[in-house]
Structure 1
Amino acid sequence: MKGLCFSLPSLRASYARGLRAEDVAAEALKRADAYADPAVWIARAPADEVLARARALDALPAAARAKLLLFGVPFAVKDNIDCAGLPTTAACPAYAFEPKESAYAVQRLLDAGAVLIGKTNLDQFATGLVGTRSPHGAPRSVFNSDYISGGSSSGSAVAVAAGLVSFSLGTDTAGSGRVPAAFNNIAGLKPSRGLLSTRGVLPACRSLDCISIFALTPEDTAEVFKQAAVYDDEDPYSRTRLADAPFVPGGSFTFAVPRPEDLVFFGDGEAERLFNEAVQRLESIGGRARRIDFAPFLEAALLLYEGPWVAERTVAVGSFIEAHEAECDPTVAKIVLGGRTRSAVETFEAMHKLQALQRKVRTLFAGLDIVVVPTAPTTYKVSELEAEPIKLNSRLGTYTNFMNLLDMAGLAVPAGIGTTGLPFGITLAAPAFSEARLIEIGARFGAALGLAPGAPFLGGAEADEGFLELAVVGAHMSGLPLNHELTSRGGMFIERTKTAACYTLYALAGGPPFRPGLVKGETGAAIELEVWRLPRAQVGSFLAGVPQPLVIGTVDLASGRKVKGFLCEASGLAGAEDITSFGGWRRYLERDKAVAG
């Protein structure tokens, strides 16, 4: 069970081979217990109830099981969404209450056979894009625990990225279903407003709120969306799902990208590089790029927090916060209670402005299939958010805050791993009811990228005979000149780690391309490297291009694991420079750049 993948296709294949829902539920409970970050969960479903539900599913006749399209699939729910039997707290213990029934969308998923594992952490009252505004702690990025996971749906994203559940529900008013997806290398679908009923969801901005879906892949979000997107007579904001605009799956498409002068990354050069590479990758799968004036989108984004819509948060929980301010997060309280200063005149002025912006955006979409933006312009450490909670949060919403105001659907997808070892993501967006189009293009983009979804350790745990794990220490690493030799063959990034402390690293003579040589000895140091998964069908052609004196041998990792990787024959060290003290090829290259500069 250790290597069991919780993606929907993998689970279905395992069930077809005889795996029981009880086995999967037990494994999900075990993973939730063992996961190192205690801030992911606010409440867990009692283990005996989870296992009892799974056994009841196993006991169903085969015909009945076949009708349950989410049979035995473990999932989690953000704790501002009601689940019968568990309290709803919105990350504020003083607010807690026991709902009599599950939210409409949750019940739809339970009726389809899914198994609830628990309620996840969030920015209190779903106010924030950071994941640090909770008395239960800040769920951390699955790539680096110094960094935020993004919010407000922080725990929901981490639960999926860490392989604890197959999918999770979040909410998305300002970007909370997309930013955490980008920071954890998974897919996040923000459906059109009203397609997933928000009955049973504690409002943030009720007229804008959406339930979002996190999963490992766009295809998995589509499966959940199909089950949950059902019209609800009792939700005044519910809308009937309309047919997607005409679009030919697998064909060419036109996508808009903000003009260079409209793009901001707040000094994050890696995010800028990865976004430009994503644009090129979209073109490689049949996309035609068009640069557009992004000003209408940015103007609309400012209305969400700098305009009167913040008062809608005051309507939702302002009275409670005023009565319990000492028990609430101070940043959340400041934002929510700030709505008291907004006037009716401001509201109507903003509504009129938004109407004009919506018209401009509809005009821009003539001849376009989607708009593509960075999901977030950069990311931050938890310590940085604690120092500047509002300013940095605002930056994270640069490319997300406009979407619900402009009545758009959005899909966040992974777009690469930077040289920092942190993931980057893009968002595909289009007018309401375009989910099928976004998911189809998102899936094609993911296939072209070839990046294993979720946490780095997921890829390693789920490696199978169809793939070879390969350690690379030089020009084949992410963002370096020969990385394309891996990605073009379907190579998938697994993790950035180090060797055991018994290796020497050399800068070999010759080039370009300039190459390092890794040599194992009795003593040495731990050298930084990356582990990739390469389809075995592609291994032969890759090895054919490995030049002497480099060879593929067994590399010992700091964790004690052994993988195949690049080593150097002793005969190739003539004229080489010992660069072990740098700890890795990247730091050596940075030294060279500094000297050249």
Structure 2
Amino acid sequence: MADALHGPSIGPSVAEVLASHAGGTGSPAKTAARVADAIAARGDDGTWLSTVPREQLIAAAEAIEQRPGARTLPLYGVPFGVKDSIDVRGVRTTLACPDYSYVASATAPSVQRLLDAGALYVGKTSLDQFATGLNGTRTPYTVPRSVYGGDMISGGSSSGSALAVALGQVPFAVATDTAGSGRVPAALNGVVGFKPSRGLISTVGLVPACKSLDCISVMAGSIDDVDRVLDVMVGRDDRDPWSRDRGPRFPGGPIRVGLPPESELDFFGDDEMRRAHLAFRRNLSRTATVVEVSLQPFLSAGSLLYQGPWVAERLVEFGDFLAGQPESIHPVVREILRSGHGYTAVDAFTALQRLQELKAVVGRVWQHIDVLVVPTIGTTFTVDEVLAAPVDCNTVLGHYTHFGNLLDLLGAALPLGVTADGRPYSAMLLGAALTDDTVLALAAQILDEPRTPQPGPPSLSVNPLTAEEHL
């Protein structure tokens, strides 16, 4: 394996790849060769579980070049990776569990949209087994590390998707996010992780972790790349019972930013992370309209996820495999799945009623703010620290992410730099369902990216209290 890096080395953006292909300085085939060589140079570092062989990848790129109107395709020859819980026809889906794996007979619609737009499929990226974890260590394969070195965890479960972008191998990668799986590894590797509103991207062809909460998300190097990829991936799919249409575009004007009181922020004894985040908040307060918002109802909802019956939902997909082949499952994942048997129907209804109460409280918050800003993670861990305390560390990593899908929020993890001791810190922007474009507009402002108004339907007034379909 290649030596560890000390931060991301983001490669060409989607726009830059497209410009190269259009201008003749590059081509999809040349890009394919570059990507294959970059992956080979790293060796088995835990980023990929499978890749298209070099010659086949170049041939696939050449086939894209021969498609009618190829140069007008929105992702013409742009390479990407797919988390290995999402199906690609003819490719083995493993979920980081060899005995569970199968060869997919069809491609997930979300991935097919990318292929139809001219994107180049490179391979399957690594993950915590069964997408159960936020740390990247729960795998029988090579345990990945953060690009920041120091034996820091990569984060998970979408560990490989974040790394593939942070290493500059692909401009974007498809991930998932049920409880933070697309935001935590983005934070730990210095890339953008965007979890859209649930239902905007079809989850057909995704092996579910918790089907009622699962989201397909995007890792990228910039907001512009996220915008370009979302414009291709978003679309109603009547085969997905949670599918819904995209919300209104950002109409412009000031964005009201909610900030929790400092006393409600927890950095778990990490003073450097606290200092970095508070400095970011001070800078944000100078340019934004800030409203103080209590974080308590959000955190109360988050506590329901793994201290409540939602863990039992994983048994819908994996219960039979757990019963028949328990020794094939990673020990930590196995115990988490087994804990789902301890919940009753009464527990489920009690939790659902409590969640509905918290949704009502949080729903009223959006009458006063447009975006809530919190840390993405409160601290970082090494691989050894996580292996020594796998459940406790994982809980800490999800402190600010667990409540997102339970409350039907969208989220964007933004890389902000490094702490004084060289570790990454990240802010997370949260919005009510279907306010994706407003969150992305603020994200672009924070990252100092130009962002032109996005095309789409006229902006409408959306009341988050009533925009709760498919919950």
The one-letter code matched in structure 1 to 2:265 is: L
**2:58 match:** 51
Q: Hey, what's the Cα distance between the residues in 2 that align with 1:320 and 1:298?
A: 32
SS in 2 for 1:214: strand
Map residues 22-421 of structure 1 onto 2, 5 A cutoff. 22-61=29-68, 64-244=69-249, 247-248=251-252, 251-284=253-286, 286-421=287-422
Q: Hey, what's the Cα distance between the residues in 1 that align with 2:150 and 2:12?
A: 23
**1:13 match:** 19
Q: CA deviation at 1:44?
A: 1.0
CA deviation string 1:35-59 (max 9, x = no partner): 1552111111232322112111222
SS in 2 for 1:447: coil
Q: In the alignment, is residue 440 of structure 1 matched against residue 430 of structure 2? A: no
SS in 2 for 1:322: helix
Q: CA deviation at 1:242?
A: 2.5
Q: Hey, what's the Cα distance between the residues in 1 that align with 2:385 and 2:331?
A: 17
Q: Hey, what's the Cα distance between the residues in 2 that align with 1:133 and 1:6?
A: 31
Q: CA deviation at 1:154?
A: 0.4
Q: Hey, what's the Cα distance between the residues in 2 that align with 1:398 and 1:142?
A: 22
CA deviation string 1:281-301 (max 9, x = no partner): 3234x3122222111000000
Structure (1 or 2) with the larger CA radius of gyration: 1
Q: 1:352 to 1:4 in 2, by over 3 A?
A: closer
Q: Hey, what's the Cα distance between the residues in 2 that align with 1:253 and 1:182?
A: 23
Q: Hey, what's the Cα distance between the residues in 2 that align with 1:242 and 1:67?
A: 27
CA deviation string 1:65-119 (max 9, x = no partner): 2431011111000100001121001000000101111111000101001101100
Flag as ranges the 4+ runs of structure 1 deviating above 6 A. none
CA deviation string 1:180-205 (max 9, x = no partner): 00101100000111111110000000
Contact 2:18 2:78 in 1 (8 A): no
Map residues 575-586 of structure 1 onto 2, 5 A cutoff. none
CA deviation string 1:291-338 (max 9, x = no partner): 221110000001111011111011121221221111111110111121
The one-letter code matched in structure 2 to 1:259 is: P
Give 5+ residue unaligned stretches, structure 1. 450-597
Q: Hey, what's the Cα distance between the residues in 1 that align with 2:150 and 2:59?
A: 34
The one-letter code matched in structure 1 to 2:66 is: A
Q: What RMSD over aligned residues (CA atoms) do the two structures have, in Å?
A: 1.6
Residues 401-410 or 218-227, more deviating: 218-227
**Aligned residue pair count:** 441
Contact 2:22 2:71 in 1 (8 A): no
**2:5 match:** none
The one-letter code matched in structure 1 to 2:320 is: S
Contact 1:5 1:11 in 2 (8 A): no
Q: Calculate the TM-score normalised by the size of structure 2.
A: 0.91
Q: Hey, what's the Cα distance between the residues in 2 that align with 1:86 and 1:266?
A: 41
CA deviation string 1:247-267 (max 9, x = no partner): 41xx43211111122110011
Q: Hey, what's the Cα distance between the residues in 1 that align with 2:379 and 2:317?
A: 30
Contact 1:78 1:120 in 2 (8 A): yes
Contact 2:139 2:330 in 1 (8 A): yes
| Percent identity between the two aligned chains | 43
Map residues 453-468 of structure 1 onto 2, 5 A cutoff. none
Q: CA deviation at 1:60?
A: 3.5
Q: Hey, what's the Cα distance between the residues in 2 that align with 1:231 and 1:206?
A: 17
The one-letter code matched in structure 2 to 1:103 is: A
The one-letter code matched in structure 1 to 2:384 is: S
Q: Hey, what's the Cα distance between the residues in 2 that align with 1:41 and 1:337?
A: 28
Q: CA deviation at 1:433?
A: 1.0
The one-letter code matched in structure 1 to 2:38 is: R
Q: CA deviation at 1:349?
A: 0.7
SS in 2 for 1:93: coil
Contact 1:139 1:154 in 2 (8 A): yes
Residues 253-262 or 92-101, more deviating: 253-262
Contact 1:187 1:216 in 2 (8 A): yes
CA deviation string 1:504-560 (max 9, x = no partner): xxxxxxxxxxxxxxxxxxxxxxxxxxxxxxxxxxxxxxxxxxxxxxxxxxxxxxxxx
Q: Hey, what's the Cα distance between the residues in 2 that align with 1:254 and 1:448?
A: 19
Contact 1:281 1:445 in 2 (8 A): no
Q: Hey, what's the Cα distance between the residues in 1 that align with 2:318 and 2:449?
A: 44
Q: 1:410 to 1:369 in 2, by over 3 A?
A: same
Map residues 479-494 of structure 1 onto 2, 5 A cutoff. none
The one-letter code matched in structure 2 to 1:70 is: L
Q: CA deviation at 1:4?
A: 9.8
Q: 1:11 to 1:448 in 2, by over 3 A?
A: closer
Contact 1:218 1:413 in 2 (8 A): no
Q: Hey, what's the Cα distance between the residues in 1 that align with 2:260 and 2:22?
A: 46
